[in-house]
Amino acid sequence: MNLVFLGPPGAGKGTIASEAKNHFDIPHISTGDLFRSHIKGETELGQQVKAILAAGDLVPDSVTIEMVKQRLAESDAQKGFILDGFPRTVVQADALAEMKGLDAVINFVLDREQIVKRLSGRRVCKSTGKTYHIMYNPPKVEGIDDETGEALIQRDDDKPEAILNRLSVYEKQTEPLIAYYREKGLLIDIDAAPSPDVVLASLIKAVEK
Ligand code: AP5
């Protein structure tokens, strides 16, 4: 099963992908996570993209496409994948079409007010990447990761200015992909507003249909 998760920042793509990957037994490939892991490891690519991510801008297509090409060539991705956060531009979508066929593109639909609430309340564990929300999915002890006991952090790009920029970048550069994939008959709209369990169940039902 080759799936793409499309949708605005904060719509819940990563949250749902972390469960859907077990159901479909395929890897969850998040370009945001790949970039953050390069930043954490202080690689050359990490240094190149650090300021871009913090501002909420897009990494250049050529860099992103090459990184995804390499990841999709790994053995675990041969049985299928969930691509979360890629493609984000028409150039990336065209490049993906040359690499792999797709079974479906899931479009996570959520209104702007909810997006801002989800992003501003998100907290993450820096070492494991586990995601919480201060209201919707709080840790057992406030500000502390349930598993590692480490202090949770707020992503640089979840600060108010970066959130507004990410939304504007999404509208200009990524939203056109909705029509792109609808035309190809691949798009499945999913209401991302209900609880994660409900969103996951409707996604599985829609994909398996
Ligand atoms: P990336 O990490 O992909 O950011 P994003 O697309 O903006 O997505 P998010 O991770 O912010 O949101 P999400 O939809 O996964 O939501 P989540 O599940 O966490 O990319 C970061 C940056 O990397 C980009 O800005 C760019 O610079 C660069 N980049 C990445 N890909 C690129 C590409 N292809 N090209 C160029 N540059 C690229 O949920 C959000 C919050 O809501 C959490 O707190 C969660 O607990 C909560 N929540 C989730 N679901 C629910 C629910 N159903 N009910 C209540 N709360 C919920």
Q: Where are the domains of the chain?
A: 2-203
Selecting among 122, 130, 140, 184, the annotated active-site residue is: 122
Q: Where are the alpha helices (DSSP H) in the chain?
A: 13-24, 31-40, 44-55, 61-72, 90-99, 112-120, 160-169, 176-183, 196-208
CB within 6 Å of ligand 1 — which residues?
9-15, 30-32, 35, 52-53, 56-59, 64, 85-86, 88, 92, 118, 121-122, 131-133, 136-137, 157, 166, 195-196, 199
Peptide bond into 87 cis (omega under 30): yes
Quote the pLDDT of residue 58: 97
With bands split at pLDDT 50, 70 and 90, how would you rate the model's confidence at 83?
Answer: very high
| Chain-centroid distance, C-alpha 33 | 8
| C-alpha–C-alpha distance, residues 76 and 82, integer Å | 12
88 is catalytic: yes
pLDDT tens track for 150-184: 999 999 999 988 999 999 999 999 999 999 999 99
Share of the chain above pLDDT 70, in %: 100
Selecting among 36, 88, 118, 123, the annotated active-site residue is: 88
Q: Please, are residues 15 and 27 in contact by the beta-carbon 8 Å criterion?
A: no
Quote the pLDDT of residue 86: 98
Cβ within 8 Å of residue 70, ≥6 positions away: none
Which residue out of 64, 116, 120, 133 has the highest number of ligand 1 atoms within 8 Å of its CB and is therefore the one to mutate? Answer: 133
| Chain-centroid distance, C-alpha 163 | 15
Q: Please give the backbone phi and psi of residue 205, each rounded to the nearest 5 degrees, phi first.
A: -60, -45
Position of tokens 């790009």? 157
pLDDT tens track for 10-29: 999 999 999 999 999 999 99
| Atom from ligand 1 closest to the CA of residue 53 | 27
Quote the pLDDT of residue 197: 96
CATH number of 2-203: 3.40.50.300
Report the pLDDT averaged over residues 101-122.
96
Report the pLDDT averaged over residues 32-56.
95
SS3 84: strand
Quote the pLDDT of residue 29: 98
Mean pLDDT of the chain: 96
> Is the per-residue pLDDT at 116 higher than 90?
yes
- Checking DSSP bridges between strand 131-133 and strand 122-124, what pairing results, if any? antiparallel
Report the pLDDT averaged over residues 30-47.
95
> Is the per-residue pLDDT at 209 higher than 90?
no
Look up residue 71 and give its amino acid.
R
